[in-house]
Amino acid sequence: MKYYLTTPIYYTNAAPHIGHAYTTITADAIKRLKIMQGYDAVLTTGTDEHGVNVERAAEAQGKSAQEYTDVIAEEFRNQWKILGLSIDRFERTTSDRHARCVQDLFMRCRDRGYVYKGEYKGQYCIFDNLYVNDAKPGDPCPECGRPTETVTEENYFFRLSAFQQKLLDLYEAQPDWVQPETRRNEVIAFVKQGLQDLSITRTQIKWGIPVPNEPRHVFYVWFDALTTYMSAVHGEGLWPADLHLIGKEIVRFHAVYWPSFLMAAELPLPKKIFAHGWLLFENDKMSKSRGNIVRATPIHKVLGTDALRYFLLREVVFGQDGSFSYDALVGRYNSDLANGLGNLASRTLTMIHQYRGGAVPDSPGEAHIAEAADDAVASALEAFDKFEFSRALEIIWSLIGRLDKFIVERAPWKLAKEKDDESRRLLDETLYTAAEALRVVTALLGPVIPDSAAKIWSQLGFTHPVSDVRTRDLHWGKLPAGQLLGTVGAVFPRADAKLSIEKMRELEVVEYARQQAVLGKTVPKPEAETKIAIEDFLKIDMRVGVVKEAAAVKGSDKLLHLHVDIGEPKPRSIVAGIAGAYKPQELVGRKVAIVANLQPRKLKGLESQGMIIAASLEDTPPALVSFLDDVPVGARLK
């Protein structure tokens, strides 16, 4: 039985970050879950390399578009390798095979009367590759807010209008075809408004797949990109896909355009589209202009990929937006992985080494726990199947909690001191119960935290890989009595929150700079190494202050007017160029650092009696210097 799933193919005008990793990691986990259920699962990802955005980015660097995308496609491929994701097909839209598939899809649509030549005049967003109907020149793109561009061109049009009813019938006949429900409702509402025909070729762009017999035309990037899902597995009998996993912002392309193209071409439709929510950074949208994009590799280096995988799947309710923060990540790691699973594993295995010479005792296990484990397996698998990852993990962790309690209640360290038969039997039962539950939990978590599960698995003494486990093996009682355990070692060493966050932040700066270099952009190096004497440094009087008031400055979108108390009789009036990064209301009450002995000066008619200290790179917004520790107002920075 096959299960074919896909991630979106990522644009090559940006480098991979945690948002891309979120989808790809989830897809990898689903693939592993399907394998556990006995499917031959195949996962496709890739890169979306055509379009005006890439053309322009390459031009800016004096590179050919192909040279430019080669580098970034490699960057994505590498990223998935570093994160240990099990990708089967990595398809680039610049491959010849893909081009032939796109051309073939076009001809199938044309031969069946769904394509005609016409003229397009209207607004277009080059960043989202979106035609904005009913927009006037200069109107913003509804997706990203950037101004749209006016384009007039001879195009081939796809008769999208012919599919309104067919699409509505599809959503009706298969209510879970687009998930979750909120996205389905959005799609239905969109289609009900009426569909306009869609321009699917371009004459103003060169960087694209040529339209057969029309040398001036290349395909519209979405017609091109969506076809990747088929071209990646061309001739393998894997189409239709069982699942397209996407982010919520590209639902329309997948749930409206894509099935229409396929229906027009008389090709089978994918079985399901699931749109997850957005990963925010500390509740804010991640974006280049905010400079708050997080990359996955620093997390991988400090806490391991499994920590990130677990966090993303546990913390975010799949389908809804979720927030990432280093604090929450380390918090989850320590409480659930180090203390929860890690502790259960080391405690259980160490006791079997200590009390039973490292051999699994012979016992059926404690009946209530056995039943609870079987129930937990059934409900967790059911939740996984509905893509309710967070719920599934909650179920598994409540079993872990129950086991901890069980061990404490049974107090095997006391039983071990008794010499009578009943104590001996109880100790066997306790140790077997803990070890068998650990086996079940570990196997069930294989798809979520594959590396760590493999480690615990071999500590349990298994010689076959944990990835060979199938759902039928999850039943209670399959741990063979007498099995010799492997060497016990910590799988999730406790992380020092402060140190590990510092380390991740440091590595994040390094990774950002490396990616910028890969993209051909430069990050300014620290000023040339002219050394100053300590006395020179001490001339600068930097103080900790607290913001008492903050307001926008009339006539400026950069400046904020702050009143900062640094322990003097009156708060300082300070004008700071931070309006792009902070809203006035979020600053009140916040501790900041200021330079207190600068010459005062006037800005927009307001006196500025100091300077707020903030950090930024050339193109990132300023980030205010702040303190992790409690620090008194007026304290000097030195």
What's the token pair of residue 26? 């989830």
Least distance to ligand MSP, CB of residue 549, Å: 34
Q: How far is CA 536 from CA 179, 211, 539, 599, in A?
A: 62, 67, 5, 17
Residue 523: how many other CB atoms lie within 10 Å:
15
Size, binding site for ligand MSP by CB under 6 A: 19
CB 143 within 8 A of CB 128: yes
Backbone angles phi, psi at 575, to 5 degrees: -105, 125
Nearer to ligand MSP, 120 or 257 (CB): 257
State the nearest-atom distance from the C-beta of 205 to ligand MSP, in Å: 15
- Nearest-5° angle of CA 83, CA 88, CA 90? 80
313-372: contacts with ligand MSP (CB under 6 A): none
| Chosen residue from 3, 5, 15, 19 binding ligand MSP by CB under 6 A | 19
Nearer to ligand MSP by Cβ, of 219 and 397: the residue is 219
CB 540 within 8 A of CB 597: yes
The DSSP secondary-structure symbol of 338 reads I
CB of 25 to ligand MSP, least distance (A): 11
What is the side-by-side strand order in the sheet with 210-211? 201-202, 214-219, 210-211
Choice between 160 and 226, CB closer to ligand MSP: 226
CB of 448 to ligand MSP, least distance (A): 18
* 109, 225, 341, 369: which one binds ligand MSP (CB under 6 A): 225
Instruction: Tell me the pairing of strands 601-603 and 214-219.
Output: unpaired
Contact 207, 50 (CB under 8 A): yes
Q: Does 20 bind ligand MSP (CB under 6 A)?
A: yes
**Which range in 14-22, 54-62, 537-545, 601-609 contacts ligand MSP by CB under 6 A?**
14-22
CB-based contact 23:46 (threshold 8 Å):
no
Pick from 509, 510, 604: nearest CA to 559: 604
The residue number whose beta carbon is nearest to ligand MSP equals 19
Q: Which is nearer to ligand MSP, 10 or 177 (CB)?
A: 10
Q: Tell me how far, at minimum, the Cβ of 328 lies from ligand MSP, in Å.
A: 15
Nearer to ligand MSP, 9 or 396 (CB): 9
Measured from the CB atom, the residue of 11 and 333 that comes closer to ligand MSP is: 11
Task: Considering the complex, state which of residue 167 and residue 550 has its C-beta at the smaller distance from ligand MSP.
Answer: 167
Stretch that binds ligand MSP, among 20-28, 104-112, 457-465, 486-494 (CB under 6 A): 20-28
| Cβ distance to ligand MSP smaller for residue 223 or 476 | 223
**Cβ at position 570, least distance to ligand MSP in Å:** 43
Nearer to ligand MSP, 9 or 380 (CB): 9
Closest CA to 153 of 188, 121, 117, 190: 121
In a 10 Å sphere around its CB, with 0-12 CB exposed, 13-18 middle and 19+ buried, how is residue 49 labelled? buried
Q: Which is nearer to ligand MSP, 6 or 363 (CB)?
A: 6
Residue 226 CB, nearest approach to ligand MSP (Å): 5
Q: Which string of b and e fits 485-521 if b means at least 16 CB within 10 Å?
A: bbebeebbeebebeebbebbeebbeebbbebbeebee
Q: Applying CB under 6 A, does 127 fall inside the site for ligand MSP? A: no
State which residue, 278 or 406, has the beta carbon closest to ligand MSP. Answer: 278
Name the token pair of 632: 């008194």
Candidate segments 4-12, 53-61, 337-345, 350-358, binder of ligand MSP by CB under 6 A? 4-12
Binding track over 45-74 against ligand MSP, x by CB under 6 A: ---x--------------------------
Q: Which of 3, 4, 11, 387 binds ligand MSP (CB under 6 A)?
A: 11
Angle at 406 between CA 404 and CA 412, to 5 degrees: 95
Give Cα separations from 628 to 72, 332, 625, 638 (angstroms): 36, 19, 10, 16
Residues 231-290 that bind ligand MSP (CB under 6 A): 246-247, 249-250, 278-279, 286
User: Distance of CA 545 to CAs 23, 242, 271, 434, 576, Å?
Assistant: 42, 57, 58, 54, 14
Return the structure tokens found at 380.
């967790």
DSSP 612: E
CA separation for the pair 603, 610 (Å, rounded): 12
Pick the piece of the chain touching ligand MSP (CB under 6 A) from 37-45, 221-229, 404-412, 505-513.
221-229
SS3 for 583? coil
- As measured in angstroms, the least distance from the Cβ of 255 to ligand MSP is 12
User: CB 437 → ligand MSP: shortest distance, Å?
Assistant: 34
The smaller minimum CB distance to ligand MSP, of residues 324 and 397, is found at 324
Query: Which residue number, 34 or 252, has a Cβ lying nearer to ligand MSP?
Result: 252
Query: Should residue 10 be labelled a site residue for ligand MSP when binding is judged by CB under 6 A?
Result: yes
Residue 45 CB, shortest distance to ligand MSP, in Å, is 10
Angle between helices 296-303 and 305-315 (to 10 degrees): 110
- Considering the complex, what minimum distance in angstroms separates the CB of residue 104 from ligand MSP? 17
Q: Which of 4, 5, 9, 256 binds ligand MSP (CB under 6 A)?
A: 9
Least Å distance between CB 250 and ligand MSP? 5
- Taking the complex as a whole, how short is the minimal distance between the CB of residue 174 and ligand MSP, in angstroms? 21
Tokens at 473, concatenated: 């093996």
**4, 5, 15, 22: which one contacts ligand MSP (CB under 6 A)?**
22
What residues pair up with 234 in beta bridges, in sequence order? none
Give, as ranges, the residues between 501 and 540 that touch ligand MSP (CB under 6 A).
none
279-281 and 198-199: which strand pairing? unpaired
Pairing of strands 560-565, 572-576: antiparallel
**Residues at the interface with ligand MSP (CB under 6 A):** 8-11, 19-20, 22-23, 48, 225-226, 228, 246-247, 249-250, 278-279, 286
